[in-house]
Amino acid sequence: MKSVVLTALALILAISAVSAQDTSYRASDNTLFILPTGDVVPKGTHQLNSFQLFFVGYNYGLSNRLQVGAFAFFPFNASVFRESFSVSAKYNFYRTDRLSLSGMGVIFPANGVTLAVASGSYSVNKTRLHAGFGTGFIVEDPADAAPLIAILGVDHNLSDRVSLMSEFSSLASSFIDDASGLFSVGARFHFENGNIDFGAMRPSGAGGDFLAFPFIRGTIEFN
């Protein structure tokens, strides 16, 4: 699996070597597959997205540094909606033409579960490199935190309409030996006010005839 990850990263970086610099924000630049990047949606921008068709999210740029949002499973019934509903805030605390660093918090009010993520993005020509760390805990017992998750990712703009994406996440304690990872690869198709992502996600421990499960997300942004 690690050889596949390295091959995908090397391919995208090789393509970027002959590309021109482009650091302007594009729809969904604030996220990759599951990794929130170092970017936030611009001030005054509304972002609606649907992940795997059944999960619906909303983000809004309160400023060029701060976005707030909400996320939930499509409400087939009230209890499912209540348990899956979450609110989030993401703050971009450092930004240059190439580097962007952010911190993000997510809370599920129904059960008190809180997620904390720190992420960064670095632009090289038309390619962005991403890294993040995240953990979770219950508000009533913050000492009982979940294991730290480490995530690496890359995306590259092939054109104004198409981007390639790749991401690998794993428990930080076993990131090197690749014992518990999730590898994702796909493409983002841009249109005037949004994009559609298609990809495949494969757990590193999958065996047998299993290849991957599909990934699809649609996003619309407006002011």
Q: What is the pLDDT, as a whole number, of residue 145?
A: 67
Whether 15 shows a pLDDT value over 50: the answer reads: no
Q: SS3 for 102-142, per residue?
A: EEEEEEECCCCEEEEEEEEEEEECCEEEEEEEEEEEECCEC
pLDDT confidence of residue 158: 94
Please state, in angstroms and rounded to a whole number, the distance separating the CA atoms of residues 32 and 130: 9
pLDDT at 160 over 70: yes
**Single-letter amino acid, residue 96:** T
Q: Which whole number is the average pLDDT over 195-220?
A: 89
pLDDT at 24: 76
pLDDT at 6 over 70: no
The token pair at 194 is 């949004």
Determine the pLDDT at residue 54. Answer: 86
Q: What is the pLDDT of residue 146?
A: 74
Handedness of CA 53, 166, 120, 115 (dihedral sign): positive
- pLDDT at position 20: 44
Q: Which residues contact 76 (CB under 8 A, 6 or more apart)?
A: none
Tokens at 3, concatenated: 């050889």
Kindly tell me if the per-residue pLDDT of 50 is higher than 80: yes
Instruction: Give me the mean pLDDT over the 129-141 stretch.
Output: 86
Q: What are phi and psi of 13, to 5 degrees?
A: -65, -35
Average pLDDT, the chain: 85
Q: pLDDT category, 189, cuts 50, 70, 90?
A: very high
Indicate whether 19 pLDDT > 50: no
Task: Spell out the domain ranges in the chain.
Answer: 2-205
- Please write the tens of the pLDDT for every residue from 71-100: 998 877 888 888 899 999 999 999 999 999
Q: What percent of the chain has pLDDT over 90?
A: 59
In this predicted structure, the answer to whether residue 39 has a pLDDT above a threshold of 90 is yes
pLDDT on residue 174: 59
Q: In whole angstroms, what is the distance from residue 151 CA to residue 171 CA?
A: 9
CATH 2.40.160 for the 2-205 domain, yes or no: yes
